[in-house]
Structures are given as C-alpha cells and as structure tokens.
Amino acid sequence: MHDDVTHQRRPVAEHAAAVAALVTPALAAARDRGAEPAEPAEVAALLAAAASGAGLAPRVLARDAGAAVALPGFDNSQMDGYAVRSADLAGAAPGAPVTLPVGAPVPAGTQPPPLGPGTAAPVMTGAPVPAGADAVVKIEDADPPSFPAPGTGAVVRFAAPVDAGTFVRRLGSDVAAGALLLAAGTPLGGPQLGALVAAGVVEVQVAAPPHVLLVSTGSELVPAGQPLGPAQVHDANGAALTAALAQAGARVTTRVVPDEPDALRGVLAGMPDDVALVVTTGGVSAGAYEVVRQTLGEGPDAAWFGHVAVQPGGPQGLGTVALGADGRRVPLVAFPGNPVSAFVSFELFLRPLLAAATGAVPARRPAGRAPLAEPLDSPPALHQVRRGALDDAGRVRMTGGPGSHLLTHLAAATILVHVPPGVGRLERGDTVDYWELR
C-alpha cells in the first residue's frame, strides 16, 4: 500500500494538481473513446428544459456549429432615421441644407421598394435599408427632427453630408451564411443559444455528460428516505454530491455499500463501461473498517492514500480502479466520509476539473475578499476551509464551527472561507479570501 499517512501531509496545490493530472485526461479520453459520444441536441429542447425551471443543462459543443443564415440577414438600419443616397447629401452644409422629398416609411419587418434618387425614406432601427440607399441619417440630425405623417408630401432638410455606410448594419457583418458560428468546446450559455437561434441553427452536436459513479461507503449508512435503525445515519453524501456533480455537468450513478471489500468489488465489477470516473466517500482514514482503502490501496495497481494539508478533507485517496467485466481502469477520487469534508474536497479538487470539461458555469467559484466579523482560530499547519456568509455590512461571519460533521451549518453557508497554512489566528477586521457557493 502506498501510504504516507504517518509522513508529511501533501500540500493542497500538489494534491489538486495530482487529481487534475489523472482526471482531466481521463475525461477527455472518455469523450474520444465515444463513451461520451457527441449527441444531437435540439436548441429548442435545451431552451424548453431551461424555461420549465429545470435549469440550463451544462453542455459543450462536440462539433463546430456553422451559421445556417447570415447575421444580419439583410442590410438594416442601426438608427431610427432617413435612408438616403450619400451622393445626394454631398453638398449639404449648415448654411446650405439639401432638401429632399420624404418617401414611404420602412417599419421593421417590411421589405421596402428601392429608394429613388433624390429621396429620403424614413427607416426604423432594424428595418431593411432600401436598395439604392447607402447611409442612414438619424432623425435627430434631420430638419425637422421628427417623422412627418406618411403621405403628406413633406420634405426634409439635411445640413451635413453623410459617409456611405453610416448606420448601415451590413448583411453578414456578424457572421456569413455557412461560416463558423461557435467552435467545438464552446459551453452553451445564453449568448451562445441566442446566436444559434439567430443564425437559424435548429440542432447542435453536444458532448454527452461524463458518467460518474458515486459510491457512499459505510455500514452505518441507510439510503435516503428509509427508516433509521440504532447507530445508523442517512446517506447525506450521496445526496450532496449527486447534486454537486450534476451541477458540474456530470451524469451520476449512486451506490451505497457497507464496509465490506466484496461489496465494493461487486459494485465496481457490475458497472457499465461508459463510467469515466469513480468518486467514493468514507473508508479512507485510519480506522479498522476502511473499505475503500483496504480494497483499493493494496496490490500493484494500488491507489495512493494519505493526508492532504487541509481541514476538513485531510484524508484522501487517488488512483485508478478496475471497472466492469473487462477490468478497464478509470480514475478513483476517494473523499473522506464526514459530509462537510466530502463536499469541501469536491469543491477543492473535482468541481473545477468537471466544470472545465462539461462547460458548467461558473467554471471557477467566484472569489472575493472581505474582513472578518469575528475572530477565528485555524490549525497553522493546514489550509483551513470554513463555512460562512457575508453579513449586511459585507463582513464574513461563520455559519458554524470547524467540525466536519456540521452539515446544517454547511447548508446555511453561502461562502467557503479560506485560511491559508501558516495562520493560527485571525482577528475581527482581518481580511480573508472566500469562494461564493451560490
């Protein structure tokens, strides 16, 4: 067994890099292998699911998407004003305005007739610029500076020349028909879906979400909703990490196994071959019934089990496990069982990698810095992650103590507060770094 529990604790950055080195290529390989195939997604269906309150599923494009139609689809006006031929206004000056008869107005959504020479046609923002016109003078710069009633035979005066192209949004100036609209790898958020709809794209190829096996270990665990016997606890980690993984763009299969190596082996052997990553909670520390460590920390392909210099989340495991009938090896990220430890471990080590692979937003938790509303103590050798919230004055307040069993205090938190190694105590007013959780 590779075991450095009794030796030095691995720095957080070093462990994060080790997890990234294992997990990121495996997620990419799963995609290349076709375990996460490109699958068609209707833009309208993505939007309908989001509108129904289900949220916008994190999806990245698996293939380039081209524009079905040009954007803009026709030359159109950037301003409410007069479409003119710039040549007609060439001699206009403040003391010698050019006077033109007003033609038929062009509302948005109508196709105007060509503009006759020596005419100015009222044109609204977004409406087609008539053929023959090559510029728009905004209404404020015309005399009079408001549109006449249609068909009244009015005239309009211009006291300045206008350059050809002024306030004309050219056909294809955003994207040409058939040109690359969004490149493979682009996460689909609001602006991207807007661009797809605008460019007439009905269906895109997206990467299927990575399939993650989440195993909660512990003979004391009872699945959600079932009655508790003596000394039993509900599987909180299964719930918290299923939600967290799903928000990070993964598809999740959950299992609860007792502290029996054969039970864990049976679950792993029964998995389909599209699983890209195994996450476990519990069974990694120094006790007598550490099923993850005992099962996966032995032999030639043993995973690393040790301590990271972080609290909570100290005991960690990392390696590969054999899955399914063919024994294909996939990354194993083993988190400690305490619910706050498991969640903080996920935030530190896994969420950034998954979000980068799936396009989940935010790719990184937004970070901030604020003064403490209260003093706090921290183990100087460790990076401590406390749970808190900002008060009305923008100061950081803890939502509970440092104990890694305090799940309701985590549930009340809106920020994770970082106290770096080397710091034993911070006073009220000292500033701390935090990550926003929501």
Ligand X SMILES: Nc1nc2c(c(=O)[nH]1)N[C@H]1C(S)=C(S)[C@@H](COP(=O)(O)OP(=O)(O)OC[C@H]3O[C@@H](n4cnc5c(N)ncnc54)[C@H](O)[C@@H]3O)O[C@H]1N2
Footprint of ligand MOO on this chain (CB under 6 A)?
A: 311-314, 336, 338, 341, 404
First to last CA, the chain: 39
Tokens of 92: 């206009």
Nearer to ligand X, 283 or 319 (CB): 283
Q: Least Å distance between CB 289 and ligand X? A: 8
Q: Least Å distance between CB 421 and ligand X? A: 16
Q: Per CB under 6 A, which region of 57-65, 96-104, 213-221, 368-376 contacts ligand X?
A: 213-221
Question: Quick one: angle between helices 12-33 and 351-358, nearest 10?
Answer: 30
Q: Least Å distance between CB 261 and ligand X? A: 14
The residue with tokens 């599923």 is: 57
Q: Per CB under 6 A, which region of 48-56, 121-129, 285-293, 367-375 contacts ligand X?
A: 285-293
332 is a site residue for ligand X (CB under 6 A)? no
336 is a site residue for ligand X (CB under 6 A)? yes
Among ligand X, ligand MOO, none, the one that 221 touches (CB under a kind-dependent 5 to 8 A) is ligand X
C-alpha to C-alpha distance for 432 and 384, rounded to whole angstroms = 11
285 is a site residue for ligand X (CB under 6 A)? yes
> Are 307 and 9 in contact, with CB atoms under 8 Å apart?
yes
Long-range contacts of 177-181 (CB under 8 A, 24+ apart): 177/67, 177/68, 177/69, 177/70, 178/66, 178/67, 179/66, 179/67, 180/64, 180/65, 180/66, 180/67, 181/65, 181/66, 181/67
Nearer to ligand X, 6 or 146 (CB): 6
Q: Per CB under 6 A, which region of 26-34, 54-62, 120-128, 286-294 contacts ligand X?
A: 286-294
C-alpha to C-alpha distance for 8 and 42, rounded to whole angstroms = 52
C-alpha to C-alpha distance for 222 and 218, rounded to whole angstroms = 9
Q: Per CB under 6 A, which region of 39-47, 218-226, 321-329, 367-375 contacts ligand X?
A: 218-226
403 is a site residue for ligand X (CB under 6 A)? no
Our measurement of the distance from residue 244's CA atom to the centroid of its chain's CA atoms, rounded to an integer in Å, reads 13
Q: Least Å distance between CB 334 and ligand X? A: 8
- Count CB neighbours of 110 within 10 A: 11
C-alpha to C-alpha distance for 217 and 301, rounded to whole angstroms = 21
341 is a site residue for ligand X (CB under 6 A)? yes
Q: Per CB under 6 A, which region of 53-61, 280-288, 348-356, 369-377 contacts ligand X?
A: 280-288
238 is a site residue for ligand X (CB under 6 A)? yes
Of 311, 332, 328, 438, the closest CA to residue 384 belongs to 311
| Number of residues that make up the chain | 438
Residue selected from 77, 192, 281, 358 as contacting ligand X according to rule CB under 6 A: 281
220 is a site residue for ligand X (CB under 6 A)? yes
Residue selected from 235, 268, 275, 297 as contacting ligand X according to rule CB under 6 A: 235
The residue at minimum Cβ distance from ligand X is 337
- Count CB neighbours of 388 within 10 A: 26
Nearer to ligand MOO, 77 or 345 (CB): 345
C-alpha to C-alpha distance for 233 and 211, rounded to whole angstroms = 27
* Total chain residues near ligand X (CB under 6 A): 26
Binding mask 295-324 for ligand X (x = CB under 6 A): -----------------x-xx---------
> Are 411 and 340 in contact, with CB atoms under 8 Å apart?
no
- Count CB neighbours of 21 within 10 A: 12
Q: Least Å distance between CB 216 and ligand X? A: 4
> Are 195 and 21 in contact, with CB atoms under 8 Å apart?
no
Nearer to ligand MOO, 342 or 360 (CB): 342
Among ligand MOO, ligand X, none, the one that 337 touches (CB under a kind-dependent 5 to 8 A) is ligand X
Residues that bind ligand X (CB under 6 A): 216, 218, 220-221, 233, 235-238, 281-287, 290, 312, 314-315, 336-339, 341, 404
